[in-house]
Amino acid sequence: MKWSTRRSGLTRTTSWRGRASRAECISSYPTLSSDYPIVSTRDESHADEMYFRVRVVNGEGTRSEYTTLLKHSFTTYVLLAIQDGHIKDIPEIADPIAQGQEIAKNLNGDWSVKLTDGGRIGVTDYLNAHYMEGVEKLSDTRIRPPPESLRLQS
């Protein structure tokens, strides 16, 4: 998604990919004006001290409600699966900031990431191999089916 603004004869085009290419660090606490993290954490001032907020900065410029729903849902499921012990021992991505910037600039869709062990893997293969099984286990153990009254009748 791109938009243009004309001021004084100049045209500026901004894309949602631009935000990912400006990331400077993985996370920050608290977010400083000079930081541009992928994830920001901070304590939640209106809650008990054991709670904190995770702000997913990457993709904030997305205007699609469906994309935002998928991003927040999958992030929530992954964090819960990690917390419940369903996701562990994930191969580390080498220089994740540079990898994210490379993916953001690649419009061909042939996205892959380099791992710290020297290997390279497709992004969807990485997610499927290391995250999806844990999220599926989470749904088996934590997410309850809707009550009978809300189920679709065949």
DSSP secondary structure, 120-139, as one string? EEEHHHHHIIIIIHHHHHHH
User: Does pLDDT of 3 surpass 50?
Assistant: no
In a domain, 149, yes or no: no
In a domain, 151, yes or no: no
In a domain, 152, yes or no: no
Count up the domains in the chain and report the number. Answer: 1
Q: Provide the whole-model pTM.
A: 0.65
14 pLDDT tier (thresholds 50, 70, 90): very low
In a domain, 154, yes or no: no
In a domain, 18, yes or no: yes
Judge if the upstream peptide bond of residue 147 is cis by omega within 30 degrees of 0: no
In a domain, 101, yes or no: yes
Q: What is the residue range of 38's domain? A: 10-144
| Higher-confidence position of 61 and 138 | 138
In a domain, 153, yes or no: no
In a domain, 21, yes or no: yes
Average pLDDT for 33-45: 66
CB contact at 8 A, 113 and 127: no
| Higher-confidence position of 77 and 48 | 77
Average pLDDT for 20-36: 56
pLDDT at 28: 52
Encode pLDDT of 91-111 as tens digits: 999 998 889 888 888 889 899
Mean of all residue pLDDT scores within the chain: 76
11 pLDDT tier (thresholds 50, 70, 90): very low
